[in-house]
Chains A and B, each alone.
Chain A
């Protein structure tokens, strides 16, 4: 029998996280200051904005609506520096919300597939899942803050028939946002979905958590069976809600554009980031002397997960890219045109494939690499940072056009979010034993050998 193991959130770890947050805030402040100065003094940002307008307008013949779209963005809205803050806030919250929900998704996959190997590590994704309510509240609050600047479709003048801003394409999509209210009023359906998804995710999270912790005291197989049932139901709900939330929160920024791969694309990015985060936390706990039951065999499985789903992400990424590239329809290619030809997105676009495919693929290919803590400590941060850039490139170009930037502001906010996330996750980790006590598969997992 394993002795009860509890994580201690030491004050030195706490102060490290607080220093990280402070660094983030300072960088953020510096970034805001620099962004305000650069837009106040010279038209540098404006000039690149014009380039992008021209780029988009060059597609105008085939897709006349893009011009209206760009001009609408140019005409109204917050100053560039504020837009940058909004975009960065939104991007970070979607990124970290994804990691949080993947904590629950990972647990659900393990129970639904009746996996034995993962019995001693399920408490780490459980702790990660504690981020769900925070990200949900942030998402709702942020949405009302950023909607005017990020979500072009929220402007009511687009729906006035005969008006100069009338947009037939967006009008056609309005039911999806505004139902049952009139187009251009309050997007009831959209906000309802956002609340509903977070509520459902949180509900299933609390139910599964309750069973997991009760199993420690009660024993027996009943809790395991209930969790398997809950997990199966949650997976069905998540299959739908993850796709719809990807359309809502990310794809609707580029309102005219759509891709049928997008739900999968966002999910793949979330999933591999979540796996890398789970692995990284386990690896760090292990090198701090916790989780003695976790052997190289468990690390091997986690490493395989990160390796496999890096390839899966690339597959989805390429499926989306190849079809649009090959068909070459202007209203679709405009999305990649912006991302491949406009600075700073172009270098991120290619760095993205390098960080999220080439590096993990080559570094994690051998068996030894997946079994050794030192290699996982290199690859997992690469994957996490790579996907942070991935989300940057999903969110920013549609909002900022040619005025986008990546600097202290974005990195600082990323650090602030990361430290908040880590603080929540690590402090939840102290509230229950690190290893399940009466998990029916614990013995199987301890003999796990690959």
Chain B
């Protein structure tokens, strides 16, 4: 597997971090990812992340559930094994609604979880890469992919230091 060459900046304070993210992006340096031990308000905006498209996936999975549930019930109760229940028509919509609702919820929920795991690269036996384990404890960790930036390692390193990074390490992942 190809490894990439990263420069990792360690920050102690979230206000410094937010300021740093803005400065670094202002200088045209691309930030691959920032890891923080707790949610930092405004970090998504500062990093310029686009909104997640997960809701669209949820909608599509939900629609799949709705149609499958209706098809299943119409086929089972209307064609495969028609039964008279309470004198109703074989295919009548109102009794199908609860099952359809549940299937919609089930499909969209499971589909969203699966989509999220796949998109975030959290498949089984695929351990996520960690730039610095302290990002799970008390430090904010900023990863910059040297390959995708045209500035040299030394230049980026000095920018990181000037924005308040406590340490700047190099890491291959």
**CB of A328 within 8 Å of the partner chain:** yes
Please determine whether A325 and B87 come into contact, CB atoms closer than 8 angstroms: no
Please determine whether B94 and A326 come into contact, CB atoms closer than 8 angstroms: yes
With A328-B87, A449-B41 known as contacts, the answer to whether A365 contacts B59 (CB < 8 A) is yes
With A328-B86, A328-B87, A449-B41 known as contacts, the answer to whether A322 contacts B97 (CB < 8 A) is yes
Please determine whether B55 and A322 come into contact, CB atoms closer than 8 angstroms: no
B-facing mask of A359-387, CB < 8 A → 1, else 0?
00000011100000000000000000000
CA distance in complex: A449, B40 (Å): 12
Which residues on B sit within 8 Å (CB–CB) of A326? Answer: 86, 88, 94-95
Please determine whether B94 and A367 come into contact, CB atoms closer than 8 angstroms: no
Which residues on A sit within 8 Å (CB–CB) of B88? Answer: 326
CA distance in complex: A365, B55 (Å): 10
List CB contacts (< 8 Å) of B84-120 with chain A: 86-88, 94-95, 97-98
CA distance in complex: A328, B92 (Å): 14
Set B51, B55, B59, B97: member contacting A318, Cβ < 8 A: B97
Set A322, A365, A366, A449: member contacting B94, Cβ < 8 A: A322
Which residues on B sit within 8 Å (CB–CB) of A449? Answer: 41-42
CA distance in complex: A326, B94 (Å): 9
- Would you give the shortest CB distance from A286 to chain B, in whole angstroms? 23
Please determine whether A367 and B97 come into contact, CB atoms closer than 8 angstroms: no
**CB of A321 within 8 Å of the partner chain:** yes
Set B41, B42, B51, B94: member contacting A325, Cβ < 8 A: B94
List CB contacts (< 8 Å) of A305-361 with chain B: 318, 321-322, 325-328
Set A322, A365, A366, A367: member contacting B95, Cβ < 8 A: A322
CA distance in complex: A366, B52 (Å): 12
A: number of interface residues (CB 8 Å) = 11
Please determine whether A367 and B86 come into contact, CB atoms closer than 8 angstroms: no
- Would you give the shortest CB distance from B54 to chain A, in whole angstroms? 11
With A322-B97, A325-B94 known as contacts, the answer to whether A367 contacts B55 (CB < 8 A) is yes
CA distance in complex: A318, B95 (Å): 10
Which residues on B sit within 8 Å (CB–CB) of A365? Answer: 59
Which residues on B sit within 8 Å (CB–CB) of A327? Answer: 86
CA distance in complex: A237, B42 (Å): 42
Please determine whether B55 and A321 come into contact, CB atoms closer than 8 angstroms: no
List CB contacts (< 8 Å) of B33-55 with chain A: 41-42, 51, 55
- Would you give the shortest CB distance from A422 to chain B, in whole angstroms? 36
Which residues on A sit within 8 Å (CB–CB) of B95? Answer: 322, 326
Chain B's closest residue to A366 (CB) is B55
- Would you give the shortest CB distance from B109 to chain A, in whole angstroms? 16
Which residues on A sit within 8 Å (CB–CB) of B51? Answer: 367
Which residues on A sit within 8 Å (CB–CB) of B98? Answer: 322
Which residues on A sit within 8 Å (CB–CB) of B41? Answer: 449
- Would you give the shortest CB distance from A217 to chain B, in whole angstroms? 33
Chain B's closest residue to A322 (CB) is B94
CA distance in complex: A318, B97 (Å): 9
CA distance in complex: A449, B43 (Å): 12
CA distance in complex: A325, B86 (Å): 10
CA distance in complex: A38, B51 (Å): 60
Chain A's closest residue to B56 (CB) is A366
B interface, CB within 8 angstroms of A: 41-42, 51, 55, 59, 86-88, 94-95, 97-98
21 A/B residue pairs, CB under 8 Å, sorted by A:
A318-B94, A318-B97, A321-B94, A322-B94, A322-B95, A322-B97, A322-B98, A325-B94, A326-B86, A326-B88, A326-B94, A326-B95, A327-B86, A328-B86, A328-B87, A365-B59, A366-B55, A367-B51, A367-B55, A449-B41, A449-B42
A interface, CB within 8 angstroms of B: 318, 321-322, 325-328, 365-367, 449
- Nearest first, the 4 A-B pairs at minimum CB distance are A325-B94, A322-B94, A326-B86, A328-B86
